Amino acid sequence: MNTPRVELPTIAMVGAGSMGRAILAGLLAPHVEVTGGIRVTNRDPQRAGDFDSEPRVTAFTTGNNPAANREAVTGASIVLIGVKPAMVTDVLDEISEALDSHALVISVAAGISTRTMENHLPGGQPVVRTMPNTPATVGRAVTGIAGGSRVTPDTLELAVRLFDTVGDVLVIEEEQIDALGSISGSGPAYLFYFVEQFVRVAEAMGFTREQANLMVRGTFRGAIDLLEASGETPQELRRRVTSPGGSTERAIAVFDEADLQKIFVTATNAAVARTREMGQA
């Protein structure tokens, strides 16, 4: 099956941390064409050198050029802000006068509202707040997208096209994005934590670290693949594994006794609260 071709206008990425580079990997896929190329800014000249062999990327370094961010965004149609949350408003202040008036400004920072972004940009500048997750590095992200007060259907569609290159996209209301971040944004860490704990359990039962990793990773991977391929609900697949009076039923009863659902609710609420704290810092 041929992957549909994606065309995007000139993109500037201010800050190329791990998430920015994951998104960049999607933009450099063979089926994606970015007219005018991609500009990327880094503080470290050595990291900027990572792109020397990539003709589609022009790297700018703030470490030896204080105007690098402003130069990178000049003339770009999409400007992706990939710096840490505490740095977002300073970066917006820095680049505001260099932006094209119609450029779409996209943030991937947790906790920074579209209203905050708009307050640090010229009137009329469209902004979008997004929450991708780390599986973007393998093209399997889930990204929540919420438009600010100045976006049009066309600018929102532009953001969707960009994030389609690294996985699935959900267009949601902004009041939902912190909750989405606590599930899909933090979710990979929860899964890695569960894998970590199951590996420890397997080792405690006498398996080697290599055996435990093979057993646990393979089980999680196979279960997710089965869930996706079967079209069944997780409840139904769990029922099929859980024979009445069997060992799985006994283990599930322990999870229920611990009120695992309540633990999930408490944990995700804590993540949402922390995201909002970061946005107010």
For the chain, 281 residues long, give each residue's pLDDT as a single digit of tens: 567 889 999 999 998 888 888 899 889 989 999 999 999 998 877 666 677 788 899 989 888 889 999 999 999 999 999 999 899 999 999 999 999 999 999 999 988 999 999 999 998 999 999 999 999 988 899 999 999 999 999 999 999 999 999 999 999 999 999 999 999 999 999 999 999 999 999 999 999 999 999 999 999 999 999 999 999 999 999 999 999 999 999 999 999 999 999 999 999 999 999 988 877 76
pLDDT of residue 275: 84
State the Cα–Cα distance between residues 73 and 95, nearest whole angstrom: 7
Domains 6-173 and 187-280 belong to one CATH topology: no
Please tell me the predicted confidence (pLDDT) of residue 2.
Answer: 66
Please give the CATH number for the structural domain made up of 187-280.
Answer: 1.10.3730.10
pLDDT attached to residue 281: 60
Do residues 92 and 121 make contact, with C-beta atoms less than 8 angstroms apart? yes
Look at strands 11-14 and 38-42 and give their pairing.
Answer: parallel
Going from N- to C-terminal start, the domains of the chain cover: 6-173, 187-280
Look at residue 50 in the predicted model and tell me its pLDDT: 73
Output the pLDDT for position 49.
65
Quickly count helices (H) and strands (E) in the chain: 12, 10
- Return phi, psi of residue 104, to 5°: -85, 120
Looking at residue 182, the DSSP 8-state letter turns out to be I
Look up the CATH superfamily of 6-173. Answer: NAD(P)-binding Rossmann-like Domain (3.40.50.720)
Closest C-alpha to 110, from 76, 73, 143: 143
What angle separates helix 209-230 from helix 234-241, to the nearest 10 degrees?
Answer: 130
What pLDDT shows up at residue 172?
96
Q: What stretches of the chain show up as alpha helix (H) in DSSP?
A: 18-27, 45-48, 68-73, 88-95, 114-119, 153-164, 177-180, 187-204, 209-230, 234-241, 247-257, 260-280
For 80, phi then psi, to 5°, come to -100, 120
